[in-house]
Structure 1
Amino acid sequence: MTHSLLLRRLVQIPMVVLLMAFPTLFMSAGADPNRASAALADILFDMDLENVSYALRTDGFVDITFGAAVSNADYQEAIQRMRDHPDIPGVLAGRGSANYCPLP
């Protein structure tokens, strides 16, 4: 076994132990899902975006799908605003092939 391979294995083992012992250690510390929800609502309201479907995870990460009628410019701006917001630790975004019906 070469020296570099041995060194890599020695580094990998403690990392695996750390990840198993402290699974939340590498998550966003202090992420508040209520603050993330409020931040997301503010962004969508400010941009007048109703054509979305989203889920907010317990760690504050946003999983959002934009309807087909949302312009590319609005899609890009909304994602950037979410990623820039300090109360939203992460965003998974996509474009749907259909539209989501807003309430009348």
Structure 2
Amino acid sequence: ASSLKDVNGVKEWTQKVQEAYVAGDDAKLKAMLETQFEPRTFYKKLIEDRNVNIEKRVEEYLKGKEQCFVVVGSGHLIGDKGIVKLLEGKNYKVERVTPGSLGH
């Protein structure tokens, strides 16, 4: 597996992550992130464990509001333990925003 320490590849890797997110290819994005952040325990701490805390903060912010706009890294949005699934599990409606979805 490659490493983020490989500075020459970071720009290309970041571009591929962005392309996967914009295309809605969550499976590809998740595979890229899991491969990049090895071992699995590192991915769990960096992404999944933090998702629980982020979800709680978003839910706290949402109290008394109909909607809000939240920005997080794309890795936090995907998978069964992603913020989207966590919020949807509590009956929140979550909408994916991409550059094209904003009408620009």
Q: Is this a same-fold pair by TM over 0.5?
A: no
- Find the structure with the greater CA-based Rg: 1
TM-score by length of 2: 0.30
Quick one: higher RCO (CA 8 Å, sep 6+), 1 or 2?
Answer: 1
Q: Which has the higher strand share?
A: 1
Q: TM-score, normalised by structure 1?
A: 0.30
